[in-house]
Structure 1
Amino acid sequence: MEKIVNSLFLKNQKYLSILLGDLGILFITLFVKKYLQNSELILLFGSILFIINTLRIWFEQQLKKLLNFMIRYRYLITLILFILLVFCRINGSSIGVFDTIYGKENGNVISEIFGKGRIIRSDEYRVQIPYFFSQIYNNFGLDSHMMSLSGQNMIIGYNSPVLDLTLIGKPDLWGYILFGNEVGLSWYWNFRIIAFLLVGYEMFMILTRNKYLSAFASVCLVFSPALQWWFAPHMYQVFFWASTLFVVGYYFFISHSIWKKVLFTVLSISALVGFVVSIFPSLQVSLGLLMLVLMICCLIRDRKELNWKNIDYLRVAIVVVIAGGILGKFLIESKTAIQLLNSTVYPGKRISTGGDYPFANLFTDPAMMLTPFQAPKAMNECEISCFNHFGVLFILYYPYLYYVVKKKRGSTIVGNALFIILLIEIFFMIIGFPAWLAKITLFSYMNRMVLVYGFTAFLFTFWSIQMVWEYRKYLRKSIALMIGVVYICLYIATYRNYGLNFYSGRISSLIYFLIPLILGTFSILLFTRWRKLFFPVFGSWIILTGMFVNPIVIGAESVKNHALVSEALKINYKFPGEKWLCLNTSFTQNLLLANGITVLNAVNFYPDYGKWDLIDPEHIQEDYYNRYLHMLIELTPDPTSFSLNSPDAATIYLNPQDLKKWQVHFLTANINSNTKELLDQYGIRYDILYIDQASNEEIIKLDY
């Protein structure tokens, strides 16, 4: 009788799981088609997923065998996929924004095949792409004078492709060095996603020893809103290299075979270099400490598997010497740039003491299902992005889980570490540390704690899911139900008014009530025999919140397929190396830089004193330009002055006489500006070489 009941239960759960999956796929397909621009392909993707999921009714075992095959041969499969995607020049860049500003010289070229470039991703298409693309014209040198007079260190500058020893820690950039910009862009995007999926799987295998859960968790991690919205800047790569250090470090000590010892010795060098040259202390310090603690805990847990021999001391020495040598050389060569960056007003040496985070940051933001489709009223999609997790639920549940696991003589060392770290992070976020304690504990660097907390809570969530299932026979369902109800109530109460700041009226009221209720309810199923019903619901949430953030793009035509760029390149060919200045815009200078033109007001990561000393020799205006700086320049008949627009942007009101000090010979300017009148007023001769109808700009040649 019991076997019959269990069989019926498993069969019903299977059908319900398939039904929930199909409903999720159907909802996502229709929702995306309705609210995401240029999303016709979702009908094809959705149909394929719907068919595959439905086939589970008849071919569950065959599909499971296929999944096992994919997991077993994951490295070969992903290598083939990577080659195919790079061959097709697929990337996820938002460079399509340039098409909306400058039009298309060849209107038949279609680059965005799914979704649209996002204006909010200016850190990617307006800074990173120009820096990366300009390096091919700089012979991938460490210092570049293409955006400054005194030069910019290009590793400090978004870790751009530089042909030096640090490349061992930047495999995502090898495509730029080997094949140029278009292939390099595709290589960069696909390597980052595929490599993190593989690293994520290994990381969760170490933590949970469950291959299916690890595969699911890896996808949830890589396509979390936090990582997808912050894909281009340093944040994504710090999370990647911190996770890689954990995996590589663990296997460095655990591996037994010779070839694995050699492999992880080499990978340790690469991971250390990659992590250090990411240069984002607000995440590096916190994530480095987190993953170091977790690695030590996992090694203690698995100490019986350790196989340490005297030869392994040599391996440690090799890693220290080679990685230390590479990093030492980099630090010596970049010492001046690092000092200048640390001395800036912004970002500079910011000291964080915490205590200023809202309680809502402890939960997954329900608005994440809206951000890929509708911009919030306040802040922006990047700033409110987060990891999808159930940290608070498992923090509440952990004391009971700990009691049961310890009673059954199980290992809780990893859970203990994550639980304690989460409590410390929460205390820092909500209450804060005094300045002296923040400095001693290095928490003073951690001004991105909401991301670090979300990542820690994400790891804790999946470790707890595995432990709950492993010890399910000994856990009382009533306690899980009680804690689950408390969690749902806290979740709803926390977001009851929070969302009014971001989304209007009815949307906020509905989303901020329904999502906590749905996610909270299905998370309770994790503590029951119906746990499998949680995964199609949470999987649908992951797809909806993270997989539609970035577009699918072919090639990099949007960087050069503009009449303004073509004309500028013709002029630059006739007058190579001449300095340009782009007036009345914060876009054109970076677009021209991406095409190999020297533009003095492209973004600077630290102050270009070679430029500023010429017009402000007494450094009276230094507070305005001693920062990471977007420069909007306008000509004025008054003495040169500055105005701060935001912590990372300033307007420079430049007197025309200062153009000669910078040896500028070409300008781009809005045709409706007073540029020509001011040039006439100061007796500067000029010729109008080209007028661009799409952007309403003209190219002006100066003749002093």
Structure 2
Amino acid sequence: MIVAYHSPVSHISIIGKPFNWGALFLSPSRALSWYWCFKIITFILLAFEFTMILTKGNKALSSVAAFFITYIPAIQWWFMQHLGDVVWFTLLALVAIYHYFNSKKTSSKIGFAALLSSSLIGFVLVIYPAFQVIFAYIILMYFLVHFFRALRKKELKKEDWIIMAVTLCVTGLVVGISLYQSLDAVLASLETVYPGSRVSTGGGTPIAVIASLFLNIFLPYKLPSILNQVELASSLNFLPFLLLTLPFILDKKHLKENLFGLFLSLYSVFLLFYVFVGVPEWLAKLTLFSFVTSGRAWQALAVISVFVSFWFINYVWHLDRRKIMKVVLPLSLLSFFFCVYLIVSNQMYRDYISRGMTLLAASFVLLSFLLGVFKYKRLFALSMLAICLLAGFTVNPIVSGIGVVEDKKLSYAIKDIVQKEPQAVWMTDNNMLYNYPQMFGAKMINGVRFYPDREEMKKIDTKGQYENEWNRYAHIKPLLTEGAVTMSNSRPDVLDMQVNTETIRKLKVSYLISSRDLSAEFGDEFRMVYGPDKDGNRIYHFTSK
């Protein structure tokens, strides 16, 4: 539970999980409210502070960026998962590093060092290398630049070395204790087929995926058939328009003051290369990018591209208007026409959104870019906030309390049975409710497993012929059948498992939640004790003969 990224646990590791602090002293509904409100509000504040640093104090641009970064579609679709957490901790670390090295008071330095320690603890304990590796390089590079700059200017005092040493020790101690106490879970995860033994080298992504950037506006309102929204989500950014332009407008005089923005731009180019072309296996392993799939690199790039976009807009605001007309405008239009070609020639997304609507979205992004480049500040802000509202703000609905879950008839039925038989084993059949009964204390055979229960799986897969299928991080979806046990993976993180009555007898399953009439299909061993409700859900008591 310690290394489960959003599980509230009363443990020293909670220092690095501020979203979960509410669970220590609030009711479940208020603790969940704490999670969402704390994360959203601090995300906005951190994004503002980060953009202020990136743009050298441009408040107008930072105010827009604060909301735009927070509501990046990829972040919102992954908000309670890895990417949302990794980006939040990255922003906190970058802001803490900046203010530490720019503070004069010892008390302020101690405060920012404490924030840095908390962010690093949380960052490490997310334990999702596919995103962590990418953002870890940003944190490391940013720290090294500030550290060596302070070292060169002889700004580091004895107290700085003490503070940094204590910060490193506290961070290492908390992370070390957490990982040591979860060593069995970590090792079990590393020994899985997916993602543990996976070695990625990038590449394999068609360049047509660039066209998918403009689909983000439609994801909250229409289900795609190609991938789910979480997998398809990225961001609406200006990277396609600015990359071709950037080499022609850089001024050597301003390189030092824009070092971090340039690093992010070059890093984006590397990530593009990694996504579309890939790198040799030895280089992937050396850089730890062997943990990073092309798909996750693309989504991380989507976030970094937004950072680069705001830095670029701030940079061109200091350019002569004639240079913008001669260089930025024609090259950005050329890039836009390339995007148009990808949209028109792409067959992948035609069944989801029409080409006309996709072209309209691309045109609106280009318009926003040009409004920003030519310093129409109010119109630029309005267009960016419109994108933010359409593509990001509507992803996660606003809900008051958790009554929508707790007050269902099915919930009361589960709680009533669990209260009478707390040790009873449950299973779901042919539905997506595998995590639902656990909320009310039910002991589940299936659910989301970070690593497999080998003893349990050996009872199901008696001949060991499906180990590659079940030895993974997986959403376990059983289906009761009269035939033999079979297992397959419809997706890398999904275990589709067909089991029979003999199997559930071995597993000592007492209750099943299903939308089917199990009594009619499998006999009187299955006695319905609840339902069917208006959603078609039934609870069956399984009596082993």
TM score, norm. by length of structure 2: 0.92
Report what 2:72 is aligned to: 224
Specify the SS of the correspondent of 1:322. helix
Specify the SS of the correspondent of 2:530. strand
Residues in 2 aligned to 1:331 and 1:408: alpha-carbon distance in whole angstroms: 44
Tell whether 2:191 aligns with 1:343. yes
Report what 1:369 is aligned to: 217
Report what 1:699 is aligned to: 540
* Preserved contact between residue 505 and residue 544 of structure 2 (Cα < 8 Å): no
Report what 2:10 is aligned to: 163
Specify the SS of the correspondent of 2:490. strand
Question: What amino acid sits opposite 2:76 in the alignment?
Answer: Q
Report what 2:314 is aligned to: 466
The one of 164, 187, 190 equivalent to 1:316 is 164
Report what 2:419 is aligned to: 573
Question: What amino acid sits opposite 2:385 in the alignment?
Answer: G
* Preserved contact between residue 559 and residue 594 of structure 1 (Cα < 8 Å): no
Report what 1:428 is aligned to: 274
Report what 1:689 is aligned to: 529
C-alpha offsets along residues 473-503 of structure 1, whole Å, 9 cap, x if unaligned? Answer: 68453222222221221221222233x4324
Residues in 2 aligned to 1:279 and 1:256: alpha-carbon distance in whole angstroms: 35
Residues in 1 aligned to 2:142 and 2:168: alpha-carbon distance in whole angstroms: 21
Report what 2:398 is aligned to: 552
Question: What amino acid sits opposite 1:567 in the alignment?
Answer: A
Report what 1:292 is aligned to: 140
Which range moves more in the overlay, 342-351 or 178-187?
342-351
Tell whether 2:39 aligns with 1:192. yes
* Preserved contact between residue 161 and residue 173 of structure 1 (Cα < 8 Å): yes
Question: What amino acid sits opposite 2:20 in the alignment?
Answer: L
After superposition, the Cα gap between the structure-2 partners of 1:314 and 1:496, relative to the gap in structure 1 and judged at 3 Å, is: same
After superposition, the Cα gap between the structure-2 partners of 1:565 and 1:522, relative to the gap in structure 1 and judged at 3 Å, is: closer
Question: What amino acid sits opposite 1:422 in the alignment?
Answer: S
Specify the SS of the correspondent of 1:369. coil
* Preserved contact between residue 356 and residue 430 of structure 1 (Cα < 8 Å): yes
After superposition, the Cα gap between the structure-2 partners of 1:398 and 1:566, relative to the gap in structure 1 and judged at 3 Å, is: same
* Preserved contact between residue 46 and residue 95 of structure 2 (Cα < 8 Å): yes
After superposition, the Cα gap between the structure-2 partners of 1:394 and 1:232, relative to the gap in structure 1 and judged at 3 Å, is: same
Q: Say what the alpha-carbon RMSD is for the aligned residues.
A: 2.6
Report what 2:49 is aligned to: 202
C-alpha offsets along residues 93-135 of structure 1, whole Å, 9 cap, x if unaligned? Answer: xxxxxxxxxxxxxxxxxxxxxxxxxxxxxxxxxxxxxxxxxxx
Residues in 2 aligned to 1:634 and 1:176: alpha-carbon distance in whole angstroms: 35
Report what 1:651 is aligned to: 496
After superposition, the Cα gap between the structure-2 partners of 1:526 and 1:585, relative to the gap in structure 1 and judged at 3 Å, is: closer
After superposition, the Cα gap between the structure-2 partners of 1:242 and 1:529, relative to the gap in structure 1 and judged at 3 Å, is: closer
C-alpha offsets along residues 338-368 of structure 1, whole Å, 9 cap, x if unaligned? Answer: 1111221222232222222232445772222
After superposition, the Cα gap between the structure-2 partners of 1:263 and 1:361, relative to the gap in structure 1 and judged at 3 Å, is: farther
After superposition, the Cα gap between the structure-2 partners of 1:653 and 1:371, relative to the gap in structure 1 and judged at 3 Å, is: closer
Matches within 5 A, 1:202-281: 202-208=49-55, 209-281=57-129
Residues in 1 aligned to 2:259 and 2:474: alpha-carbon distance in whole angstroms: 45
Residues in 2 aligned to 1:470 and 1:296: alpha-carbon distance in whole angstroms: 28
Residues in 2 aligned to 1:211 and 1:622: alpha-carbon distance in whole angstroms: 55
Matches within 5 A, 1:478-627: 478-498=326-346, 500-504=347-351, 508-587=354-433, 589-616=434-461, 619-627=464-472
Deviation at 1:283, TM superposition (A): 0.5
Residues in 1 aligned to 2:431 and 2:474: alpha-carbon distance in whole angstroms: 14
Report what 1:452 is aligned to: 300
After superposition, the Cα gap between the structure-2 partners of 1:432 and 1:656, relative to the gap in structure 1 and judged at 3 Å, is: same
After superposition, the Cα gap between the structure-2 partners of 1:632 and 1:512, relative to the gap in structure 1 and judged at 3 Å, is: closer
Which range moves more in the overlay, 273-282 or 612-621?
612-621
* Preserved contact between residue 419 and residue 460 of structure 1 (Cα < 8 Å): yes
The one of 418, 441, 451 equivalent to 2:287 is 441
Question: What amino acid sits opposite 1:486 in the alignment?
Answer: L
After superposition, the Cα gap between the structure-2 partners of 1:642 and 1:517, relative to the gap in structure 1 and judged at 3 Å, is: closer
* Preserved contact between residue 477 and residue 495 of structure 2 (Cα < 8 Å): yes
After superposition, the Cα gap between the structure-2 partners of 1:261 and 1:369, relative to the gap in structure 1 and judged at 3 Å, is: same
Question: What amino acid sits opposite 2:219 in the alignment?
Answer: T
Deviation at 1:390, TM superposition (A): 0.7
* Preserved contact between residue 54 and residue 261 of structure 2 (Cα < 8 Å): no
Residues in 2 aligned to 1:650 and 1:479: alpha-carbon distance in whole angstroms: 53
* Preserved contact between residue 377 and residue 503 of structure 1 (Cα < 8 Å): no
Deviation at 1:544, TM superposition (A): 1.2
After superposition, the Cα gap between the structure-2 partners of 1:213 and 1:676, relative to the gap in structure 1 and judged at 3 Å, is: same
After superposition, the Cα gap between the structure-2 partners of 1:497 and 1:155, relative to the gap in structure 1 and judged at 3 Å, is: farther
Question: What amino acid sits opposite 1:189 in the alignment?
Answer: W
Question: What amino acid sits opposite 1:515 in the alignment?
Answer: A
Residues in 1 aligned to 2:374 and 2:516: alpha-carbon distance in whole angstroms: 68
C-alpha offsets along residues 195-238 of structure 1, whole Å, 9 cap, x if unaligned? Answer: 11111111111111212211211110011111111112111101
Report what 2:264 is aligned to: 418
Question: What amino acid sits opposite 1:179 in the alignment?
Answer: L
C-alpha offsets along residues 380-421 of structure 1, whole Å, 9 cap, x if unaligned? Answer: 222221122111322222223213xx2468633223312321
Deviation at 1:306, TM superposition (A): 8.0
Report what 1:63 is aligned to: none
Residues in 1 aligned to 2:14 and 2:292: alpha-carbon distance in whole angstroms: 27
After superposition, the Cα gap between the structure-2 partners of 1:303 and 1:415, relative to the gap in structure 1 and judged at 3 Å, is: farther
- Where in structure 2 are there 5+ consecutive unaligned residues? none
Which range moves more in the overlay, 238-247 or 435-444?
435-444
* Preserved contact between residue 212 and residue 232 of structure 2 (Cα < 8 Å): no
Deviation at 1:601, TM superposition (A): 1.6
Specify the SS of the correspondent of 1:553. coil
TM score, norm. by length of structure 1: 0.72
Residues in 2 aligned to 1:619 and 1:541: alpha-carbon distance in whole angstroms: 51
* Preserved contact between residue 446 and residue 476 of structure 2 (Cα < 8 Å): yes
Deviation at 1:627, TM superposition (A): 1.5
Deviation at 1:515, TM superposition (A): 2.7
The one of 662, 666, 671 equivalent to 2:507 is 662
Q: Which has the larger radius of gyration?
A: 1
Question: What amino acid sits opposite 1:702 in the alignment?
Answer: T
Residues in 1 aligned to 2:282 and 2:21: alpha-carbon distance in whole angstroms: 42
Specify the SS of the correspondent of 1:464. helix
* Preserved contact between residue 347 and residue 628 of structure 1 (Cα < 8 Å): yes
Report what 1:178 is aligned to: 25
- Where in structure 1 are there 5+ consecutive unaligned residues? 1-153, 681-685
Deviation at 1:156, TM superposition (A): 3.6
Q: Which of structures 1 and 2 has the larger relative contact order (alpha carbons within 8 angstroms, sep 6+)?
A: 1
